[in-house]
Amino acid sequence: MAVRRYQGIYLGPIGFLIIFNLLFYVAVSIRPSLLSVLGFMPASFLQEPWTILTSIFVHSPFPSFWHIVANMITLYFFGSYLLRLVGDKRFFIVYFIGGILGNVCYLFLGSPFSTVIGASGAVFALGGALAVMRPKLKVFIIPIPVPIPLWVAVIGGFLVVSFFPYVAWQAHLGGLVFGLIMGFFFRRRLRRFIW
């Protein structure tokens, strides 16, 4: 007699992060005052040190929800690929340390009285690592109608987004640089393992 066991729902690291971001998004939508409690402001960092981490999960619904949509789509595609290459533990290291170092970079290069929110630094860390590990991988970026190399998409995306108003390019830079460094580290280890 065959017995089927219920396996339950497995979200995996990507699903966990997306759901966590969405829960924070809903919470901030209901109570916008949470932005000042969870967002990272360099001037108040010593009084609110937890914000260097919590801000990575916070996206404001005001004035637009495109911030979280863009970050979660990019997290899904870049994150899924990188996760298959390096595994859960290393994926989380890149994501969380990349996001935190993005905030550290903003701490030194950004405005001390501006509040920084969003997963962009962490997502750029994933993109940076993947761009080094698979630079020739072809990707489609809206609205470009032809596939382009991943490294061009990541670096070009950083440069283009940096010119948008109210964008903390410093946080993106910190995450991206960390991701690039980790990509070189992972690539060397993978080569050593294969050979």
CATH code reported for the domain at 12-194: 1.20.1540.10
Output the pLDDT for position 43: 96
Q: How far apart are CA 108 and CA 103, in angstroms?
A: 9
**Confidence category of residue 158, pLDDT binned at 50, 70, 90:** very high
Residue 176 CB: number of other CB atoms within 10 A? Answer: 29
Q: Measuring CA to CA, how many Å separate 150 from each of 16, 105, 111, 182, 183?
A: 25, 24, 31, 16, 13
- Closest C-alpha to 97, from 5, 186, 177: 177
Peptide bond connecting 61 to the previous residue in cis, omega within 30 degrees of 0: no
Output the pLDDT for position 195: 41
- Where do we find the tokens 């409690």? 37
Q: What is the 3-state secondary structure (H, E, C) of 68-101?
A: HHHHHHHHHHHHHHHHHHHCHHHHHHHHHHHHHH
Stretch 90-98: mean pLDDT: 97
Stretch 99-124: mean pLDDT: 96
Output the pLDDT for position 65: 84
For the chain, domain boundaries: 12-194
Stretch 102-124: mean pLDDT: 96
Taking 60 as the threshold, does the pLDDT of residue 194 lie above it? no
Stretch 119-148: mean pLDDT: 92
| Average pLDDT of the chain to the nearest whole number | 90
Q: What is the pTM (predicted TM-score) of this model?
A: 0.89
**Confidence category of residue 63, pLDDT binned at 50, 70, 90:** low
Helix/strand/coil for 116: strand
